[in-house]
Amino acid sequence: MKSKPGRRRIPILARARAKPLAETSRGEVLGGERTLVYDWNSTGALSGPPTGAVELDDETLRDGLQSPSALCPPVGKKIELLHHMEALGIDAADIGYPGAGPRALADVVALAEEIARSGLRIRPNCAARTVPTDVHPIAEAQQRSGTAIEASLFLGSSPIRQHTEGWDVDFLRRTAEEAVRLARSLGLEVMFVTEDTTRAHPDHLRALYTTAIEAGARRICLADTVGHVAPWGVQELVRFVRGVVAEAREPVKIDWHGHRDRGLGLANSLAAFSAGADQVHGCALGIGERVGNTELDLVLVNLKLAGAIDRDLTRLGEYCEKVSRATGVPIPPNYPVVGRDAFRTATGVHAAAVIKAYRKDDVKLANSVYSGVPSHLFGRDQVIEVGPMSGKSNVIYWLEKRGLAATDDLVERIFAAAKQSDRLLTEEELVALCGAVARAGSH
């Protein structure tokens, strides 16, 4: 039976110095003042946000680069991105696929050496098929760099893949066991990854995970390789796998690796955490094969807003911009939080509410009254612009922000121009209108 929806009121911005949302404990009423936000996220059939420790594995430098539109950046750029991951508190990073060839191996060695040289806390891992020709290069990279590297050994698991490849479950079990034992004999820690987990039979998954754990894998990964599953399916799957791990009686962690083919990558990753997954994988900006992987930046945002993590994310936009430049994948203007339009508005009603909040000298209120994401937590601010949907308050605010007198003539001229336009007025156009009024007044 479903439990009855509970009531939880989360007060934010109840006064000028109120805590931001992510810092406000659930149910807390700040100073007994009235609640400004009712949180419907506390109701519904799915489990709530994660309550224990959460870990994140950044796949940008491997799975992300499998995007058909992405460039493979030089190793210097990869090292720069690695440091940004560290600054954001990301726990692990897939630093490449050394079995792909000499360049891939050299880059993996350089990244692993940088982790050791700079004393980074981030844990490196590398992807590999369950074949010796992929496992040995990871061991070589570990030996050359002097840095422990986890081997992420992946193997198809679904009936459709078995049918296509001509495999059976006995073959899969033998392959998994041999690969994991080989990696362990070479001194590698192992994450065993079942590809297409979300379309695999539970009996097959139980057999494969049990075999891998008995062979020495201490992390198993559930991969939604083709973006098939929905959030409620994720929770059923994670709960099932938790039972398999409990039966194994070994200290094994569970990872979730999602894709966005149905647009559910982010929701599925949050569902995995709430069902008990220990670590979630993703890529900056959601880049990756086909339509991409879970958007790791948005996982960070949502964990922050849920109170599951407490870290400085004001440089999140900088990281995403550097990934965009390094890979040649542009950030869409309407991309959440880090996109150009994320906190811009020229709509009169919306802008008026933001402006009223600023008039109260309450930046946090201004950053939240018309935004589900308090922009200051992520290094951003609300931006008020002027366009055909604007009111005069937009114009007055724009002028005052630039230290210009909001005279009736100037406000009317800009307002009229905005109403006749089919888009937002640019800074240059607004400045020109100010100049035209000034010149008219001098004659």
pLDDT tens for the chain, 443 residues: list them. Answer: 444 444 333 333 332 333 343 334 333 333 334 566 665 555 445 556 666 789 999 999 999 999 999 999 999 999 999 999 999 999 999 999 999 999 999 999 999 999 999 999 999 999 999 999 999 999 999 999 999 999 999 999 999 999 999 999 999 999 999 999 999 999 999 999 999 999 999 999 999 999 999 999 999 999 999 999 999 999 999 999 999 999 999 999 999 999 999 999 999 999 999 999 999 999 999 999 999 999 999 999 999 998 899 999 999 999 999 999 999 999 999 999 999 999 988 888 888 888 888 888 888 888 888 888 999 999 998 888 899 998 888 898 888 888 888 899 999 999 999 999 999 999 999 999 988 765 555 55
| Locus of tokens 């990872």 | 255
Q: How far apart are CA 307 and CA 312, in angstroms?
A: 13
Identify the pLDDT of residue 125: 98
Q: How far apart are CA 90 and CA 82, in angstroms?
A: 10
Q: How far apart are CA 284 and CA 298, in angstroms?
A: 9
81-85-87 Cα angle (round to 5): 115
Identify the pLDDT of residue 41: 57
Identify the pLDDT of residue 146: 97
Tell me phi and psi for residue 29, to 5 degrees. -110, 115
Q: How far apart are CA 36 and CA 23, in angstroms?
A: 15
**DSSP-assigned beta bridge partners for residue 150:** 125
- The two counts, helices (H) then strands (E), for the chain are 15, 10
Half-sphere exposure of 433 (CA within 13 A, CB side): 23
Provide CB contacts within 8 A for 32, sequence distance 6+.
none
Q: How far apart are CA 310 and CA 378, in angstroms?
A: 12
Q: How far apart are CA 439 and CA 19, in angstroms?
A: 47
Residue 4's H or E segment, with its range, is none
| Locus of tokens 């430098």 | 61
Identify the pLDDT of residue 441: 55
Which pTM value belongs to this model? Answer: 0.85
Q: What does each C-alpha distance from 419 to 156, 331, 412 come to in angstroms?
A: 58, 29, 11
Provide CB contacts within 8 A for 360, sequence distance 6+.
16
Q: How far apart are CA 141 and CA 125, in angstroms?
A: 11
Identify the pLDDT of residue 420: 93
| Locus of tokens 């950030």 | 331
Please, what sign has the CA dihedral across residues 274, 36, 310, 63?
positive
Identify the pLDDT of residue 360: 87
Spell out where 136-208 has E strands. Answer: 150-156, 190-195
Q: How far apart are CA 45 and CA 234, in angstroms?
A: 13
3-state secondary structure of 69: coil
3-state secondary structure of 44: coil
Burial class (CB in 10 A: 0-12, 13-18, 19+), 339: middle
Give the closest residue to 308 by CA, choosing from 282, 338, 278.
278
| Locus of tokens 């679904």 | 158
Q: What does each C-alpha distance from 361 to 32, 345, 351 come to in angstroms?
A: 21, 19, 15
Q: How far apart are CA 205 and CA 169, in angstroms?
A: 10
Q: How far apart are CA 193 and CA 261, in angstroms?
A: 19
438-354-406 Cα angle (round to 5): 15
Residue ranges of domains in the chain, CATH in brackets: 1-45 (no CATH), 55-327 (3.20.20.70), 344-442 (no CATH)
Query: Are the C-beta atoms of 194 and 205 separated by less than 8 Å?
Result: yes
Provide CB contacts within 8 A for 182, sequence distance 6+.
132, 135
23-34 in b/e form (b: 16+ CB < 10 A) is ebeeeeebeeee
**DSSP-assigned beta bridge partners for residue 255:** 221, 279
Q: What does each C-alpha distance from 140 to 62, 107, 135, 136, 188 come to in angstroms?
A: 18, 13, 9, 6, 10
